[in-house]
Structure 1
Amino acid sequence: MPESYTQPGTSPSLFIRAAQRSDGESLGALTRDAWSPLHSVQPRPTPPYEPFFDERHEPSQYLVAETDGRVVGFVRLVPATSLACNRHVRQIQGLEVAEAARGRGVARALLRAAYDASRSQGATRITLRVLGHNTPARALYEAEGFAVEGLLPGEFLLEGEYVDDVLMGRSLIDS
């Protein structure tokens, strides 16, 4: 992925860049602090904490948002599958913003940087999955041009409630 991105209309102190292995501790702390059943199907993290980066989650898959030198968010961007016939599609597999930075355009800037990174990798489509009850995220994705392309009803049992898994996607051509 390119080293850094600037997004028009965002705070001048917001900087989006490629992740580095040294970001692992900050990103792990952000994920633990931001954990919520609104967006996570995993149990709440408890010590001892696993490393943020591992053989399946490499720094090259992440873009990091910084404000005033502090990590405030990330997006994970990967090929949708390993199939050659699907190489034109990228998938967002994680988008998190620190509570204190929400409502300031960080998630939108990360999404737009993900579009740019995807295009630079030759992608023409981007997809994601979001929990059906995550209304704020779904509204953001819809405002960014994503459309619901599939629904897995009651796919997850979270805190005693069945929650849908919503598949969304959008074109990266002419946008």
Structure 2
Amino acid sequence: MPEPSIRVAVAGDEEALALLDRATWSTLHAVSPPPQGPFFDERHVPGDYLVAEADGRVVGYIRIARPTPLASNAHVLQIQGLAVADEARGQGLGRALIRAAAEEARSRGARRLTLRVLGHNAPARALYESEGFAVEGVQPEEFLLDGAYVDDVLMGRTL
């Protein structure tokens, strides 16, 4: 696979992103039912997404958005989704998307970048830790997924 480029999403990416979202959905990282319907909506706008593209195809994305609408929290952005196509895994694309998100967050004036990750998602947790995120809290057994209770791990880093 050629070196991917990372850019801000545009409305024309919707179909490719929706397909990627459906193809990568798993209870390893998702707490809501499998995605259906439009990818973009009033809460999920193209400008919140960075898209990784290789050979003219979308192979990954990361979503960064404000965790709350409060002015007192405007200095914080949150990673609210990350997906990498199966054929693009193991090539550093997730890491590249996280680094691009940190740069984008800085350019938007953020001082902190946070995220939530499921406790049983060891590969994602290790990746986030290797990129400077630290566990800042754990909500034990916050979700019931596939018959098992799963912790919600809150992580963050200073930009």
| Normalised TM-score (structure 2) | 0.96
Deviations 1:124-144 (A, max 9, x none): 110000000000000000000
Give the unaligned 5+ runs of structure 1: 1-10
User: Which residue of the partner structure matches residue 149 of structure 1?
Assistant: 136
Q: What pairs with 1:46-85 in structure 2 (closer than 5 Å)?
A: 49-85=36-72
User: Which residue of the partner structure matches residue 31 of structure 1?
Assistant: 21
Q: What pairs with 1:158-173 in structure 2 (closer than 5 Å)?
A: 158-172=145-159
What amino acid is aligned across from residue 103 of structure 1 in structure 2? G
Verify the 8 A CA contact 2:2 2:55 in the aligned structure 1: no
Q: How far did 1:12 drift?
A: 6.2
The count of aligned residue pairs is 159
Q: Give the 3-state SS of the residue equivalent to 1:111 in structure 2.
A: helix
Q: How far did 1:44 drift?
A: 2.8
CA distance in 1, matches of 2:58, 2:2: 15
Q: How far did 1:43 drift?
A: 1.9
Runs of 4+ in 1 over 6 A off after TM superposition: none
Note if 1:97 corresponds to 2:87: no
Note if 1:86 corresponds to 2:73: yes
User: Which residue of the partner structure matches residue 11 of structure 2?
Assistant: 21
Give percent identity, aligned residues only: 64
| Normalised TM-score (structure 1) | 0.88
Give the unaligned 5+ runs of structure 2: none
